Amino acid sequence: MFLIVIFGKMLRLTQHINNLTGHDTYISFDGVVDVEVINTTLQTIEEKLSDKALPKRIKRKVYNILVEALQNIFHHRMENETLDYQRSIFSVTEHENKFHIYTGNYLEKAAVDVVKSKIDNVNKLTKEQVVIKYREILDDGIVTDKGGSGLGFLDMFRKSKNILGYKFYNEETYTFFVLHITLNVNK
């Protein structure tokens, strides 16, 4: 279930965080994601995770999933639009032995079907099929016009071992895309 709330054209991260009753919030952000934001976020999450009594593999997975999710926001942001449409959100929370990573950013309406199809295709795969597909893409070495290889959703699924949740919020000009990755602490 998505707890993101939109007021008019603007998504309010504070409302999202307020709705996550009982969650331990590690980090939350609402604004324009740039290299400095990514670096500061990763340093902050690394520090906060190091203070927790969690297995190293879980800390590493949370960190690596967040890296991938932030790269997606950065590389697929609306660069030639007003700041409102360049805005993104993300949060990392922990609740009931699960980490929740939410990201959100605006997309061109034409990209919605492509993104939905990619996520749906990943979510249909078994864990073994994801690993095989991931290795195939690595071996092919194909790079997209945005500089990626299409590994993002596969990698997040592979590391979290959970399906990827998502929701699209249509607006007049663009669509706001929210991705939810869940990582079980005891997996």
Of 3 and 68, which is predicted with more confidence? 68
Which CA distances in Å does 70 have to 21, 51, 64, 102?
24, 22, 10, 10
pLDDT over threshold 90, residue 85: no
In sequence order, which residues have a C-beta less than 8 Å from that of residue 82 and are 6 or more positions away? none
Instruction: Give me the mean pLDDT over the 97-108 stretch.
Output: 92
Give the pLDDT score at 151.
84
Instruction: Give me the mean pLDDT over the 161-181 stretch.
Output: 90
pLDDT over threshold 90, residue 179: yes
The model carries a pTM of: 0.85
> Over pLDDT 90: what percentage of the chain?
45
- Report the helix count and the strand count for the chain, using DSSP H and E: 7, 7
Helix (H, G, I), strand (E, B) or coil at 34: coil
Give the pLDDT score at 146.
55
Instruction: Give me the mean pLDDT over the 152-173 stretch.
Output: 91
Helix (H, G, I), strand (E, B) or coil at 166: strand
Partners of 184 in the β-ladder: 98
Give one word for 167, left, alpha or beta, with left for phi > 0 and alpha for psi -120 to 50. Answer: beta
The answer to which of 50-59, 82-91, 99-108, 155-164 has the lowest mean pLDDT is 82-91
What the block records as the tokens of 123 is 């979510």
Furthest CA-CA distance within the chain: 46
Phi and psi at 47, nearest 5°, equal -65, -45
Element of type H or E holding 93? strand 87-95
Domains of the chain, earliest start first: 6-110+162-184 (3.30.565.10)
Phi and psi at 78, nearest 5°, equal -85, 95
pLDDT over threshold 70, residue 90: yes
Query: CB–CB of 117/86 below 8 Å?
Result: no
Instruction: Give me the mean pLDDT over the 7-30 stretch.
Output: 65
Give the pLDDT score at 155.
92
Of 150 and 33, which is predicted with more confidence? 33
∠ CA 81-83-86, rounded to 5°: 70
